[in-house]
Structure 1
Amino acid sequence: MEDMTKTVVIADRYIEAREAIRRYVHGVMGFRVIRECSNRLETIRSVSLLTPDVLFVEEGLYRMYKGEILSKGVCHPLTVILADKDACIERVFKKDVFDYLRKPYTQEDVERTLHRISYAVQREIPSERPNTASSAIFVVDGIRFKKIAIGDVMHVKAARDYSIIYTDVGEYVSSHGIGYIAERLNAGFFVRVHRSFIVNLAYVDELHREGGRMILVLKNGHEVTVSRRYVDTMKRLIL
């Protein structure tokens, strides 16, 4: 059975507050605290290097953290604000914040938030599908349909309501969306790493992290950022 444990980072200047959140999280199955931070730099470093699923962060630290990390477009965890009063909550509770907790919060408050996170993440996990892949596909090439070996497909990129199929010998436009194409590619070789990208693992040269992002480098030098939704998929390939 796959490990679906969600990783958690806690950022608060006060040790009592961090200990309380850690204790409450420990009591909820499926979540694990991997780091506690007491200042802005620790928070930035931990989120960038550990790429946690969930961040509990004090409102004051969040405002500094957001300015240095979130505004740069780096993938960030589901954020739960820890605020002292309602005025703070109203100031920071925007679309990039998943939830908030007003101090003093209880174990029931934390459990309720974590259960909401579990439900939200579960909705984003791609469903299992039967393998209907073939050894070859046909793509439009002028007025003909050209046969291409499935192994020659390097990656597929979404382009609005159609897709572009990249191969060693050229690029081909498909009138189908990337979701339709993903269902017809062999899941053992092709991996969906972004809402706009499918990659053939045979053409991946390396995987690295940069500024909190997970990036794939293809053999042709093309770089593809792994979106948050598919990070767990890539993590399962790291042994």
Structure 2
Amino acid sequence: MNRIMKKQTLLIVDKDCLFRKQLIEELKQNDYPAVIWECSNGLEAIRYINTLQPDVIFLDVKLPGINGFEVLDRTEHSPFVVLTSDCSTYAAKAFEYDAIDYLLKPLTKKRLQTSLQKLGNQSEIVLNSFSKQSTVYPRRILVEKGNRLTSIQVSHITHLKADKDYTWIYTLNNESFLSNYGIGKLMHKLDPHQFLRIHRSYIVNLDYIQELYRDINRFFLTLSNNVEINVGRNYLPSVKELIF
């Protein structure tokens, strides 16, 4: 886990004391660089998250009192989240909350290592977004159109949307182009002062953000071309930096 550069604050929320102890032991064996806290129910979790503002939480879906999803709905701080459960029932819903991973019990070393790798990769993306201050970014790019490459202005790109290992690029005049690059790689090619990742599947051009609004427990951005995009929990702090 050398990818993560600093010691993090990690919170484990689970009603099962034995599971918490096992997870803590496995994290230590993997040399995960974190100060680890633990609690056993949803109300405690809300207090810990709001007070500690942890970088990472391992959060059980089935908690006494209020469940893991309700905990995420009630907290403003948005850490990286690994949801845990003894069944796969809530896996799809987990990714609606931008969970980094969905970890099934009983815990296995191999599966936990996969989760830690995903956490490391996500942390690396966030860190890289701050390392581009002196990079020169292109004003125009070449994109595929039929059997040719056509030139478009980067400033005319309104947003980008991930499509598995590919990415759709959308422009002001309602054109769309499919790139062979994944959205993470394209983010590295774009000026971070101009483009902001607001979801694991979306990047937007700051010039075309029209509105930010909250609908129940989720935030949405509206672009000037009437495109509406859900803001991922892990990316919400970056969006809130735009609020004055």
Shorter-normalised TM-score: what interval?
Answer: 0.5 to 0.7
Distance 1:221-1:40 versus aligned 2 partners, 3 A rule: farther
Aligned runs of 1:53-72 on 2, under 5 Å? 53=80, 72=93
2:210 maps to 1:205: yes
2:49 aligned partner:
34
Structure 2 residue matching 1:34: 3-state secondary structure: helix
Counting only pairs closer than 5 Å after superposition, residues 214-229 of structure 1 correspond to structure 2 as: 214-227=219-232
Q: How does 1:143-162 map to 2 (within 5 A)?
A: 145-162=149-166
What corresponds to 1:188 in structure 2? 193
Amino acid at match of 2:71: S
Give TM-score scaled by structure 2 length. Answer: 0.54
The total of aligned residue pairs comes to: 200
Unmatched 5+ residue regions in structure 1?
Answer: 22-27, 82-90, 100-115
**Which residue is 1:124 aligned to?**
122
Aligned-pair CA distance for 1:188: 0.4
Label 1:6 to 1:203 Cα distance change in 2 as closer, same or farther (>3 A). Answer: farther
Distance in 2 (CA, whole Å) between partners of 1:78 and 1:229 is: 9
1:45 aligns to 2:50 (yes or no): no
8 Å contact kept, 1:10–1:35: no
Distance 1:7 1:120 in 2: 15
1:55 CA drift (Å): 7.8
State the 1:207 CA deviation: 3.4
Match of 2:97 among 75, 87, 96: 75
Whole-angstrom distance in 1 between the partners of 2:141 and 2:101: 42
TM-score, normalized by length of structure 1? 0.55
Distance change in 2, residues 1:193/1:6 (3 Å): farther
| Residue aligned with 2:143, SS | strand
Residues 53 and 7 of structure 1, relative CA distance in 2, 3 Å threshold:
farther
Matched-pair identity in %? 25
1:132 Cα deviation from its structure 2 partner: 3.1
Residue identity in the other structure for 1:124: Q
Which SS does the other structure have where 2:210 is aligned? strand
CA shift, 1:135, in A, is 2.3
Per the alignment, in what secondary structure is the counterpart of residue 220 of structure 1?
A: coil
Partner of 2:106: 93
What SS does structure 2 have at the residue aligned with 1:191? strand
Deviation readout 1:161-181 (Å, 9 max, x if unpaired): 443221121323244313443
Partner of 2:142 in structure 1? 138
In structure 2, list runs of 5 or more residues that go unmatched.
1-5, 25-33, 38-46, 52-62
SS at match of 2:207: helix
SS in 2 for 1:132: coil
Distance, in Å, in 1 between the alignment partners of 2:153 and 2:65 is 51
RMSD in angstroms over aligned alpha carbons?
5.1
Q: Is the 8 A contact 1:132 1:183 kept in 2?
A: no
